[in-house]
Structure formats: structure tokens, C-alpha cells
Amino acid sequence: MRESPPVDVIVVGAGFAGMYAIHRFRELGLNVQVFEAGSDVGGTWYWNRYPGARCDVPSLEYSFGFSEELEQEWDWPEVFSAQPDILRYANHIADKFKLREHITFNTRVISVTWDEATRGWEITTDDNETHRAPFCVMATGCLSVPNKPGIPGADTFAGLELHTGLWPHEDVDLTGKRVGIIGTGSSGVQAIPELARQAETLHVFQRTPVYTVPANRKAMRDAVQQEFKDNYRAIRDMQQSNAGGVSNFRPVKSVQRAAADTDPGAIADVPPDGQPNFRGGNNNIKDLSPAERRQRVIERGLNELLNFRDVYTDPEANDIANELFRNAVRYMVKDPETAESLCPKDYGIGCKRQVLDRDYYDTFNRDNVTLVDLEQESIREITPTGVQVGDEHYDLDVLVYATGFDAMTGALLKANVSGRGGHTLNEKWEHGPVAYLGLQMQGFPNLFTVTGPGSPSVLCNMLVAIEQHVNWIGDAITYLRDNGLATMEPTAAAETEWVAHVNEVAEGTMYTAPSCNSWYLGANIPGKPRIFMPYVGGYPRYRERCEQVVANSYEGFQFT
């Protein structure tokens, strides 16, 4: 085992979190080393290259605010960006801020061990090297460990096997191929219309139907982009006080100008609420008559159902919206049996992360697309030549897994973290994640998690959440240095109190309804404890709590 010279901070992961950590920590005078399993920067956007991959937060909001120069020089081609554009943005940042010199690529961290003697972390990597630093920051992402379900025979498939979260870098030619896809979450829903356009035939193996609404697919208009750029300081402030870290800034001038030009597309150009805000406006669906509700959906589309406040708070209102949604699916999909299978019936709108699509339902009207409903009978086995469901065998050349991720805790638990006294994170989190503010765990001094469980993370605009966490961690390390302190970690009491608060705010929401099974709850991974992992109390409330903790001399933390 070779040993590299010690640094101040080791960061695991070179997605947006790891990238900003380099920039910020370097500004603070710290020596930073990052390890990244991939061959380049970008994290989620490096790995998820499947056709149709796209962000569900408007691009002008899903961007860093730490550099005005970056804000001004970068142009987004679409209102909601496709994966290649976001990856280009990540690469631009890496070049501009010279981040790559701090990153060791193609190197996976295989253990993270606290060493009491040196009061620091010993990190081993899969190239047989040991690295030491007093601080370690896990910037390992929330959706970075792909889930491949243990379906019998899975390893026997002789055709091409793909996972949306590990899509190859080179083009995959599906022309003339019989393709099957398992999974109809965001990844599946985004990929299915694209795969259907390329493949000879597409079989969609669906266990649970999804509530998906059309995404805004507009090209970015220069005037809108410019107005954002002119107002970015105010927009960043607005993000700080929005529950989902999205400003919802309305580019008034551009819209008025366009309206004057009688451009009918102008209003739709305005980014709609970002993903985290798809949880109701100010109106209630129950205030409308049945005829009015139907009329609204006809006039404004399925998205309108997401704009009612009571749909997210009142089960009766939720049922009304769910039924209107199903009726729309029955109308859009021509084959009645397929339409019925595509209608979610066992859970309501608001339980899972809202999925946005381009032509999803219409794809099932294509002659080359077949829905295989797994509700009655799940996949019995994967064979060398395809997929067996009940008595039916589906012959395939290509099998795509769009089966999601071991979300939020997966990457942290996979890193073999052991803290003081040799106690492991896996032991500590046996019954679900326990952390203070989603930033630190008791027993793991000087180890920080970026957007960890118990913080708003995936319920917030990730780039806003990342900046806030990395800034907080940088300030904490500076505090230790300035005060001649060696270590910090939460007290057991503070951690317990925070976890109780995280659970309390999630209780009674649609997210945790008994009928709801989502990756937020860990319900997609067999045996994973059912705990609502992100903090649902809203980003501003969370941020204020983090600030208050600092103002009270790091209340809830203990130091040596």
C-alpha cells in the first residue's frame, strides 16, 4: 500500500458538490484532494447519459451563483436542459476554475477510516494507495449507486445489457433491435419515447404506473436569458427564501415585449415552477365544480392538476386530481387495455418525485411499442434471450434497466466508513440514517456529508443546496483552525433531536402516506429501512437553522 502526502481536506466525488468544494476550500487556503470513480467531472450528469436524460429544474435556476462571471458568460440553449448541456456546463466550470489539477479520476474510494492517533481520516483507494487528511467531505451524490434488482437469471442475458445510470459513453445504435426496458420512474419515462424512436420494437416492463406531466420543451429565448442575467443577484436572494431553492423569477420585460410582438409562445417561455415547487399553488381543486375541473385540464393540460394546494394536503382533493389524471390518460392512449395499465391507482399525486416527460403517453400509441403490465405477474426470470413473465417470453436483443438508485444513503454506506472506536456507519445507520442537519454524524469527527440525509437535498434545487452546504462546511473548518481546535462532531442529543424533527415534519404529508412507496423512503430497495430521508421543512427554514447553529457557537456540536 503506497501512501500519498497528507492534504487538508479529502473530498470524495467530483460532481457539482465536489467541484464547488475544490473552489471554495481553495479560496479558504486549504489544500484539497478529490477522488472520483469516473474519468471526468459531472457526477450524475457524467453517468446518466441515456437518451432523453434531462434536468427537471429550469436551467437558469439550476446553475451556480458563486461567480458572477460564470453566470454572465454561460448560455443555456433550452429552458430545461438536456444532459449533454449540463455536462458541458460542468466541464466549463472545471476548465475555468482549474479544478482538474485537484482531482484524481478513475479512482474509487474503498474505505474511509478514522485514525484516533493522528486525529484524521485515512482513505484508501482502489489503486492500492492510502491518503490522509484531518477532514473528509463525502460529496458522493444522492442518486449515484444504480439499483439493479436481483431478478432470477439476471446474469444470464446474452444480449446487450444497459442501465440508465451507467449508460455507455459511446453511441448505442438500437436500429433494428428488439429492446426491453424495466422501470417507469423518471429515467424510464424520459428514455422510453427516445428508445421507441430508435428501436425496431420496444417492450416496456412496468411494475408501477407513474403520474407524469409534459415538460416545458421550449428553446431558451435570448431576451429571457438576458433578463435573468440582469437580475441574477436578486434571483439568488429569492432562491434563498424559496422552499425548493427556486426563485420563480418572472422575466416581466421579455414577456411584455413578446406580448407586444403578439408572440403566442411568449408566456410559455417563462420557466414554470421548478420541480420542488410542483406542490400546489394558491387554489384548491375542491373549490371548483366537477365541470370546471375538467374544463381546466382540457384548457391548461395535465400540469394544472399540480397547481392546486389541496391536492397535496387533502386526501379527498388528491383523489379528485388522481381520477382526472387517469381520465386524461384514458383519453390520450388509444388502446383501452394499455391505457388502463398506465393509470396509477394505488397511490396519489405528490407521493413520488414529480416526473416530467416528452411524448410519454403518445409513445404507447406507436405500433412498435408494447406495455407489459407486471401488476398481476412480476418478471419470473431473465433468460439468455429475453424476459419471462408468466407463460410469456419476450425475445430481446437489448435489455435496459431503468430501475433507479440506492438513493441518499447508498453511496455513503458503500464507502466503508468507520469512525471512532472502529464503529461503522453501516452499524450506526442500520435502522435508517442518523445525522445532525444532514451534515455530520456523531462518532465520525471531521467527516462531512454534502446534501446528506436529513437536509433538504433532493427536495431543493441541488446547486443551491450544494453551495449552502459547502460554504457551511468551509466555514466550520475555518472555525476549527481559527480557534485551535482539532475535531468537531455533533452531540448525540443534537443528532437525536434533529432526526426527530425531520421525521415530525414529514409525517402526515403525501410523501409518507401509507400507500406511498418512493425512493425518498428507501422503499425501492428490498430490506432498506422505511424512513423519509430528505428534510421536508423547506430550504429557508433549514438554512436559517444552520445559520442559527453557527451564531450560537456551533450549538449541538462538540469539539476537541
| Choices 239-247, 401-409, 442-450, 475-483; region in contact with ligand NA7 by CB under 6 A | 401-409
Cell numbers at 483, concatenated: 480557534
Q: Shortest Cβ contact with ligand NA7: which residue?
A: 185
Closest distance between ligand NA7 and the C-beta of residue 523, in Å?
7
Cell numbers at 248, concatenated: 420563480
Nearest Cα neighbor of 18 from 128, 77, 119, 97 is 97
Q: Which of 519, 532, 554, 557 binds ligand NA7 (CB under 6 A)?
A: 519
Q: Which of 185, 344, 419, 538 binds ligand NA7 (CB under 6 A)?
A: 185
Q: Which of 149, 159, 432, 540 binds ligand NA7 (CB under 6 A)?
A: 149
Q: Where are the alpha helices (DSSP H) in 102-221?
A: 186-198
Closest distance between ligand NA7 and the C-beta of residue 14, in Å?
19
* Residue with Cβ nearer ligand NA7 (453 or 474): 453
Q: What angle do CA 339, 163, 99 make, to 5 degrees?
A: 125
Nearest Cα neighbor of 104 from 240, 207, 11 is 11
Note whether 153 binds ligand NA7 by CB under 6 A: no
Cell numbers at 457, concatenated: 437535498
Q: Give the separation between CA 47 and CA 233, rounded to whole angstroms.
A: 32
Q: Which of 187, 277, 418, 455 binds ligand NA7 (CB under 6 A)?
A: 187
Q: Give the separation between CA 246 and CA 223, rounded to whole angstroms.
A: 20
The residue with cell 408494447 is 370
Closest distance between ligand NA7 and the C-beta of residue 164, in Å?
6
Phi, psi of 178 (to 5 degrees): -95, 110
DSSP 8-state class, residue 300: H
3-state secondary structure 209-268: CCCEEECCCCECCHHHHHHHHHCHHHHHHHHHCCCCCCCCCCCHHHHHHHHHCCCCCHHH
Nearest Cα neighbor of 433 from 364, 506, 382, 366 is 506
- Determine contact, residues 123/136, Cβ cutoff 8 Å: yes
Per DSSP, the three-state class of 357 is strand
Closest distance between ligand NA7 and the C-beta of residue 162, in Å?
13
Radius of gyration of the chain (CA): 24
* Residue with Cβ nearer ligand NA7 (351 or 499): 351
Q: Which of 225, 242, 388, 403 binds ligand NA7 (CB under 6 A)?
A: 403
Note whether 253 binds ligand NA7 by CB under 6 A: no
Note whether 208 binds ligand NA7 by CB under 6 A: yes
CA 182 to chain centre: 20
* Residue with Cβ nearer ligand NA7 (201 or 403): 403
Closest distance between ligand NA7 and the C-beta of residue 338, in Å?
16
| Choices 200-208, 307-315, 391-399, 545-553; region in contact with ligand NA7 by CB under 6 A | 200-208
Q: Which of 38, 404, 445, 454 binds ligand NA7 (CB under 6 A)?
A: 404
Note whether 347 binds ligand NA7 by CB under 6 A: no
* Residue with Cβ nearer ligand NA7 (30 or 371): 371
Q: Which of 224, 399, 402, 441 binds ligand NA7 (CB under 6 A)?
A: 402
* Residue with Cβ nearer ligand NA7 (404 or 556): 404
- Determine contact, residues 477/445, Cβ cutoff 8 Å: no
User: What residues numbered 361-400 form the site for ligand NA7, per CB under 6 A?
Assistant: 374, 379
The residue with cell 458563486 is 66
User: What residues numbered 118-137 form the site for ligand NA7, per CB under 6 A?
Assistant: none
Note whether 151 binds ligand NA7 by CB under 6 A: yes
Which DSSP helix (H) or strand (E) runs through 425? Answer: helix 425-428
Q: Give the separation between CA 505 and CA 82, rounded to whole angstroms.
A: 33
* Residue with Cβ nearer ligand NA7 (47 or 554): 47
- Determine contact, residues 281/308, Cβ cutoff 8 Å: yes
Closest distance between ligand NA7 and the C-beta of residue 464, in Å?
15
DSSP 8-state class, residue 28: T
Q: Which of 96, 207, 286, 414 binds ligand NA7 (CB under 6 A)?
A: 207
Closest distance between ligand NA7 and the C-beta of residue 225, in Å?
25
In Å, how far are 2, 383, 501, 528 from 533, measured between CA atoms?
37, 36, 12, 12
* Residue with Cβ nearer ligand NA7 (136 or 458): 458
| Choices 205-213, 253-261, 307-315, 482-490; region in contact with ligand NA7 by CB under 6 A | 205-213
Q: Give the separation between CA 442 and CA 5, rounded to whole angstroms.
A: 28
Cell numbers at 345, concatenated: 391507482
Residue type for 533, please?
A: M
Closest distance between ligand NA7 and the C-beta of residue 66, in Å?
24
Note whether 408 binds ligand NA7 by CB under 6 A: no
* Residue with Cβ nearer ligand NA7 (133 or 143): 143
| Choices 110-118, 201-209, 359-367, 506-514; region in contact with ligand NA7 by CB under 6 A | 201-209
| Choices 10-18, 179-187, 248-256, 476-484; region in contact with ligand NA7 by CB under 6 A | 179-187
* Residue with Cβ nearer ligand NA7 (53 or 473): 53
Note whether 183 binds ligand NA7 by CB under 6 A: yes
Closest distance between ligand NA7 and the C-beta of residue 150, in Å?
8
Number of residues in the chain: 560
Closest distance between ligand NA7 and the C-beta of residue 439, in Å?
22
- Determine contact, residues 224/254, Cβ cutoff 8 Å: yes
Cell numbers at 60, concatenated: 437558469
How many residues touch ligand NA7 (CB under 6 A)? 23
The residues that touch ligand NA7, with contacts defined as CB under 6 A, are 143, 149, 151, 164, 182-188, 205, 207-208, 353, 374, 379, 402-405, 519, 524
